[in-house]
């Protein structure tokens, strides 16, 4: 294993850990000191509020967990996806892909912890422009997951890796 790949792995694990900590810290701030659940909403800026939302589903409310069985099924499903992302991140050789996967992994772990602890994911970030809301209410984990997926998509669609020693990159990676 090359030193660069070892550094990428370390970067990925550290970044995933930082995302997880930032997510859990911000959720603690809105639930404990700010008691946002009781208040409901706090205006921070003309375009940004803290708004209490209990998300019982996954992205955009899909697969809503209406029962304990469904809650634990979502925990199991997202844990399995997280393990897949960790394995992909561990095998990945490109720093930008490791970075993107680390964002997804850290965010997924933060939301899994919420679902285990509370039975729902705590969402609170409410970005809006007047009555226009470009996003649903979200949290740090959701933002990290979204950014990570967008980086992966952009790299897959727009970035071509240069051939190495006259070989196609896929040939080099298989060797």
Tell me the per-residue pLDDT of 88-128, one tens digit each, with 9 for 90 and over: 999 999 999 999 999 999 999 999 999 999 999 999 999 99
Please report which confidence band the pLDDT of residue 165 belongs to, taking 50, 70 and 90 as the band edges. Answer: low
**143 lies in some domain:** yes
Nearest to 107 by CA among 139, 60, 153, 74: 139
pLDDT of residue 135: 87
**97 lies in some domain:** yes
- Encoded tokens for 57: 């589903």
Nearest to 113 by CA among 36, 11, 21: 21
Q: How many domains does the structure of the chain reveal?
A: 1
Section 30-42 average pLDDT: 97
pLDDT of residue 7: 86
Section 77-94 average pLDDT: 95
Residue 142: domain span: 3-159
pLDDT of residue 169: 47
**64 lies in some domain:** yes
**44 lies in some domain:** yes
Residue positions annotated with a catalytic role: 123, 142
């Amino acid at each position: 294993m090359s030193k660069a790949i070892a550094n990428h792995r370390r970067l990925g694990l550290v970044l995933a850990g930082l995302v997880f900590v930032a997510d859990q810290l911000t959720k603690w701030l809105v639930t404990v000191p700010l008691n946002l659940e009781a208040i409901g909403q706090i205006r921070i800026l003309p375009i940004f509020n803290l708004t209490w939302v209990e998300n019982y589903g996954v992205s955009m409310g899909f697969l809503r967990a209406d029962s304990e069985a469904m809650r634990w099924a979502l925990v199991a499903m997202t844990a399995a996806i997280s393990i897949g992302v960790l394995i992909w991140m561990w095998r990945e050789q490109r720093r930008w892909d490791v970075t993107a996967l680390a964002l997804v992994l850290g965010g997924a772990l933060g939301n899994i912890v919420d679902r285990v602890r509370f039975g729902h994911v705590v969402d609170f970030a409410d970005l809006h422009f007047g009555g226009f809301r470009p996003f649903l209410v979200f949290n740090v984990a959701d933002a990290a997951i979204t950014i990570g997926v967008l980086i992966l998509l952009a790299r897959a669609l727009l970035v071509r890796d240069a051939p190495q020693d006259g070989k196609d990159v896929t040939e080099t990676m298989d060797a």
